[in-house]
């Protein structure tokens, strides 16, 4: 009898492991079908136009993505052009408030650009990208339960996706990342989903830190392009401007 009681906890553990794995598989399958992941994989390049609303100001932006992992972000503020880009290996930026010349980014700064280059998102092809995913149960939302899926990247960043159990679309994301040695926690709220060629895209993304709104991204257009429409040169760091 004593031996039997020592075996039972191990048997219970074995029972819970398949149930948890099946729950993760089921939640991800529902999300893939709802978002139309198969359709976005066919997109060779994407151009997103929109505005950033922050502290009462609006700044236009353009995001250009090109498969497999190139991305360029452009914005303007008070007639100053701000650029961030990733060519699949290295990231760089131009920020007139720092100086006129392009600057190569460090590893911690490049992380956000690499995430932006993943047009299919972090929940898809996660094994290939060596992410760790786990199903964390459910949480009550405003009107429906939310499924919780945690993502841990090879660099140790964590994101918890809260997926609407009715629509199977992502409602919000809690993120923890380290930038220049400092841990940053933020929450992104995704809403106003649009169907773009069979792929569901959130046209509004609000970011909060410590309960305070840090800004909102509003998409105005989302265009799917051919790879030949986008020159690879726009992702490469330009040479410094000649000094006068």
- For residue 226, tell me if it sits in a domain: yes
Confirm if 165 and 147 have CB atoms less than 8 A apart: yes
Q: What is the pLDDT of residue 19?
A: 39
**CA–CA separation, 160 and 135 (whole Å):** 10
- For residue 202, tell me if it sits in a domain: yes
- The CB density around residue 178, as the number of other CB atoms within 10 Å, is 13
Q: What is the pTM of this model?
A: 0.83
Question: Per residue in 92-144, pLDDT tens?
Answer: 999 888 888 899 998 877 888 888 888 888 999 899 889 999 999 999 888 89
- For residue 117, tell me if it sits in a domain: yes
**CA–CA separation, 242 and 244 (whole Å):** 6
DSSP classification of residue 229:
G
**CA–CA separation, 145 and 148 (whole Å):** 10
- For residue 243, tell me if it sits in a domain: no
Range of the domain at 57: 2-235
Q: What is the pLDDT of residue 244?
A: 59
- For residue 242, tell me if it sits in a domain: no
Q: Mean pLDDT across the chain, nearest whole number?
A: 86
Q: What is the pLDDT of residue 117?
A: 86
| Terminal-residue alpha carbon distance, the chain | 89
- For residue 241, tell me if it sits in a domain: no
Q: What is the pLDDT of residue 12?
A: 42
Pairing of strands 80-86, 91-94: antiparallel
Question: Per residue in 36-69, pLDDT tens?
Answer: 988 888 889 999 999 999 888 899 999 999 998 9
Question: Per residue in 66-81, pLDDT tens?
Answer: 998 999 999 988 888 9
Q: What is the CATH number of the domain that holds 28?
A: 2.50.20.10
Question: Per residue in 134-180, pLDDT tens?
Answer: 999 999 888 899 999 999 998 888 999 999 999 999 999 999 987 76
- For residue 43, tell me if it sits in a domain: yes
**CA–CA separation, 133 and 153 (whole Å):** 9
- For residue 152, tell me if it sits in a domain: yes
Q: What is the pLDDT of residue 243?
A: 66
Domain tally, the chain: 1
Which residues touch 52 (CB under 8 Å, ≥6 apart)? 58, 59, 60, 61, 75, 215, 216, 217, 218
> Which phi and psi (to 5°) does residue 16 adopt?
-75, -30
């Amino acid at each position: 009898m004593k031996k039997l009681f020592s075996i039972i906890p191990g048997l219970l553990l074995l029972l819970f492991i398949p149930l948890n794995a099946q729950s993760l598989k089921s939640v991800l399958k529902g999300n893939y079908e709802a978002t139309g992941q198969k359709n976005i994989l066919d997109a060779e390049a994407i151009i997103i136009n929109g505005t950033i609303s922050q502290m009462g100001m609006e700044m236009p932006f353009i995001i250009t993505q090109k498969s497999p992992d190139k991305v360029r972000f452009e914005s303007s503020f008070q007639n100053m052009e701000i650029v961030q880009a990733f060519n699949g290996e290295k990231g760089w930026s131009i920020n007139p408030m720092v100086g006129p010349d392009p600057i190569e980014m460090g590893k911690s700064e490049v992380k956000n650009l690499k995430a932006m280059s993943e047009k299919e998102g972090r929940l898809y092809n996660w094994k290939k990208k060596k992410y760790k995913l786990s199903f964390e149960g459910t949480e009550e939302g405003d009107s429906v339960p939310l499924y919780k899926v945690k993502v841990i990247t090879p660099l140790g960043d964590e994101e918890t996706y809260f997926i609407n159990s009715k629509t199977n679309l992502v409602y919000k994301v809690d993120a923890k990342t380290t930038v220049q040695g400092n841990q940053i926690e933020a929450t992104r709220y995704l809403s106003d989903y649009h169907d773009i060629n069979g792929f569901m895209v959130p046209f509004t993304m609000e970011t909060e830190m410590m309960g305070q709104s840090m800004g909102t991204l509003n998409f105005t257009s989302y265009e799917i392009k051919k790879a030949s429409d986008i020159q690879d040169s726009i992702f490469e760091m330009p040479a410094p401007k000649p000094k006068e």
